[in-house]
Amino acid sequence: MKSIKIFAPATVANLSCGFDVLGCCLDTIGDEMVISLTPESGVKITKIDGANLPMETHKNVAGVAVEALLNTYGKNIGVEIEIYKKIKAGSGIGSSAASSAGAVWAVNYLLDTPYTPEELVKFAMEGEKLASGNAHADNVAPALLGGFTLVRSYSPLDVIKLNTPKDLLMTVIHPQIEVKTSDSRSVIKHNVSLKQAIQQWGNLGGLVAGLFTEDYNLIGRSLEDVIIEPMRSILIPEFNTVKQAAIAKGALGCGISGSGPSIFALSKGIDTANNVAEAIREVYHKTGLDFDIHVSKINSQGVKVIE
């Protein structure tokens, strides 16, 4: 039986101005999975540790994503999946994406890589569709490609890996309340004014340019969301206070991580990222809510083998 253990990273989607198109991969937060090829064909979830998630293959995001890969691969393959969840469901740091992306990456590895990471995105998106009703790729793409990614187009799918400036650090606070992506998508109005659209695509272009030129000031100026954040931030306790505290401590920018409730801040250098973490901790301490705070490098590799 061929088997590997992998690290399936958490991810921050949207990055303020890039709703459904931008994402980045984290280094210190993620799940572990053991994936094995078996002689008996079919996909089985054999163990889930750390979360109460469905064991039935067709109800489990990892199971569905692997089935999508095997349907295209076209040979009778057996796969067993063990999932060790560290990322909480509904946290906004890509819990379902880690399972979907991790599973397809590992199966592809065990089959001697018939697919490129870009091709794997399509299979992993089937897991996202099951989790949230929408096959968005802005978490699975950075989990599979590493670093920062842009979904230039969904139809046809066109995913581009961006540059990672070496001094960028991510601070993430995860308030221990669950916000389902499907609920958080349902509060979004579907009409955008031309004025808002102009601001948003100006910032999106600015952020991509800032990442490539490693212009931290430009990255900071571009981390603005005039469309989604005003609608979603009301779901997150103390969002505005956290944002003000992070910026006051020198963060380049701060916004909702994916569909929330996690909040991210990008900083230049570890000292600033730690100061931002401390300032956010003070704000949340007063709320009486439980929370976790992580400071992470950007993971430019994505999913990786750990054993």
* Angstrom distances, CA of residue 134 to CA of 70, 130, 138, 181, 251: 21, 8, 11, 9, 31
How many chain residues interact with ligand HSE (CB under 6 A)?
Answer: 13
Residue nearest to ligand HSE (CB): 258
Among 6, 9, 10, 14, binds ligand HSE (CB under 6 A): 14
Please state the closest distance from residue 286 (CB atom) to ligand HSE, in A.
Answer: 27
Please state the closest distance from residue 197 (CB atom) to ligand HSE, in A.
Answer: 17
Active site residues: 128, 181
Please state the closest distance from residue 74 (CB atom) to ligand HSE, in A.
Answer: 31
Please state the closest distance from residue 101 (CB atom) to ligand HSE, in A.
Answer: 13
Q: Give residues 156-195 in contact with ligand HSE (rule: CB under 6 A).
A: 181, 184-185
Among 99, 149, 203, 259, binds ligand HSE (CB under 6 A): 259
Please state the closest distance from residue 285 (CB atom) to ligand HSE, in A.
Answer: 26
258 in contact with ligand HSE (CB under 6 A): yes
158 backbone dihedrals φ, ψ, rounded to 5°: -140, 105
Among 44, 85, 122, 136, binds ligand HSE (CB under 6 A): 136
Q: What is the DSSP string of 2-25?
A: EEEEEEEEEEEESTTT-TTTEEEE
Q: Give residues 20-39 in contact with ligand HSE (rule: CB under 6 A).
A: 20
Interaction pattern, residues 201-230, with ligand HSE; x per rule: CB under 6 A: ------------------------------
Give the bridge partners for 293, in sequence order. Answer: 173
Angle formed at CA 123 by CA 141 and CA 137, multiple of 5 degrees:
30
Q: Which DSSP state fits 26?
A: E
The H-assigned helical ranges of the chain are 61-73, 95-110, 117-132, 140-145, 181-186, 194-213, 216-222, 229-232, 239-248, 270-285
Of 28, 135, 36, 5, the residue nearest 87 (C-alpha): 28
Residue nearer to ligand HSE on the CB measure, 206 or 258 = 258
14-22, 26-34, 99-107, 160-168 -> range binding ligand HSE (CB under 6 A) = 14-22
Among 16, 91, 139, 267, binds ligand HSE (CB under 6 A): 139
266 backbone dihedrals φ, ψ, rounded to 5°: -100, 135
* Angstrom distances, CA of residue 282 to CA of 35, 166, 259, 292: 41, 28, 23, 12
Of 230, 259, 247, the residue nearest 283 (C-alpha): 247
Give the residues lining the site for ligand HSE (CB under 6 A). Answer: 13-14, 19-20, 94, 136, 138-139, 181, 184-185, 258-259
